[in-house]
A and B are shown apart, each in its own frame.
Chain A
């Protein structure tokens, strides 16, 4: 293949341009010369190995879900008939979406600002974003209750207000992941150039963030959103102490003494969450293409 003189072909998400790359938008499988069969072996082997590792425990869980003493499908029937499952699931889903929004709104401008204007502050900001790892969940929720439940704040007075506090706490828990994903995304684009270009066209900060930065960070934002969603769906301790009826407390109840139903539930939640994330991914991809 030759580079340079060949005319560039269409640039698409799937891209494959053997000619001059036109910047970061091409996603070129290979990013280089056509692969030999041997060279393709590596990626396939790795993916296969990974898939094996990921699938084995799930298969073990399937086996467990079929061992209910009332019959192979009993665990599945019982858990699907449990009328508390879907309300709890819906509640967690809404919490997840809300958390993603809050997290994005806080982290993206911050990461952008730090990258652009305050790089010296980066270690401190990163340290703060990693705090969720070292504060035990019980300690965090009880501290939040201690700090914000007393008069005059009374932030946990009602179920709804507690839910909002919890969503904000979840957003804080998502900071390590969201910040890292966004930071990586920002590193991959030339933030300074983009900003200066936008500014020279007369854009103000909100416009720059909304119309320049966010769209260019799409992959990073999806990563961060997926991670945040997973955290919210699985978070247990805070929901328990804040008396919220989300999915994880429901799951904990089942796990406690119904191991076969718990296995079935794990798989159901796995599948449903996977599909939900797939849809989010699909929708955001299509929205990107329309642009």
Chain B
């Protein structure tokens, strides 16, 4: 790694390697984010103000962040765990090879099946007069009376998983593929059970990748808007929905606040990356 004796030209040569990325990301991501930040400093009359950022501490905004983080954590973890299990099943579970391609390609389609089509699909399945609801009611079991509600936090989380599972499957597949078979064989040789293999070899090796995938799932859920909106309108006040209410629609609301909340989301993402990096470095120590 970095050594004291590095000649200076080597350092600049290293940076050249990521210049294309920096230019591309700068043009299409960073500059718009800066525009976003600048607009967050605008008051409704056009003057510059920090009022919008100060308003980030109001209960409405804080609650929306809490809700967003909550649903993102929930679907990241649930999606991560079951997505991992799905990937493991088709890659290492001894299933016929076509099952793997079926799952992988299906995941490709399902990973972006979101928004109104996904919400409609779930409404038609588990809504008040959805297919499953009606069938179960005919069988004597009213799930809505029993407390289930598609238009609730849990309901929306269940819907989110539809694109979280496939995302996890696709992203973790290269890592599971990369597990050396000789490690498994070696651990067998040493008398380890399957549980012990995974506990001491498999999962530790995969942990950095799993964490990376989970942060992706977290971000994916954090930034999602259309699906929740299609299900409960503005009544589940996630941060993204709050932003939408401020900058879109038919009411002259407070766009500056909307942009400030968006910058707040950038902040939350930065903190998440920080936490994730820490966890990842810890998990990498094993491998170093």
Contacts and interface: CB of A to CB of B under 8 A. Distances in A.
Same complex: yes
Interface of A: 3, 14, 17, 20-21, 23-24, 26-33, 35, 39-40, 42-44, 46-47, 50, 53-54, 56-61, 63-64, 106-107, 109-110, 113-114, 117-123, 125-136, 138-140, 143-144, 146-147, 168-169, 171-172, 175-177, 180-181, 183-185, 187-189, 217, 219-220, 222-223, 226-227, 229-231, 233-234, 236, 251-252, 255, 259, 262-263, 266, 270, 273-274, 277-278, 281-282
Nearest to A271: B109
Name A's interface SS: helix
Contact of B105 (A23, A60, A107, A278): A278
Contact of A133 (B109, B110, B222): B222
Interface in B65-111: 82, 85-86, 88-95, 97, 99, 101, 103-111
Contact of A175 (B29, B162, B194, B215): B29
Interface of B: prevailing SS: helix
Interface stretch (B47-55, B56-64, B138-146, B175-183): B175-183
Contacts of B95: 29, 43-44, 47
Given A107-B21, A136-B247, A147-B32, A273 B109 contact: yes
B21 to A, nearest CB: 4
Q: Which of B97, B212, B225 has the most CB of A within 10 A?
A: B212
Interface residues of B, number: 108
Given A26-B181, A113-B17, A60 B175 contact: no
B203 to A, nearest CB: 14
Contact of A187 (B21, B178, B215): B178
A266 B36 contact: no
Nearest to B225: A136
10 contacts: A3-B189, A47-B99, A54-B165, A140-B32, A143-B35, A169-B28, A176-B216, A184-B209, A188-B175, A234-B113
Nearest to B266: A134
Contacts of B270: 127
A136 B106 contact: no
A113 B223 contact: no
A188 B174 contact: yes
Closest 4 pairs between A and B when the two form their complex, measured CB to CB: A188-B178, A43-B93, A60-B125, A226-B108
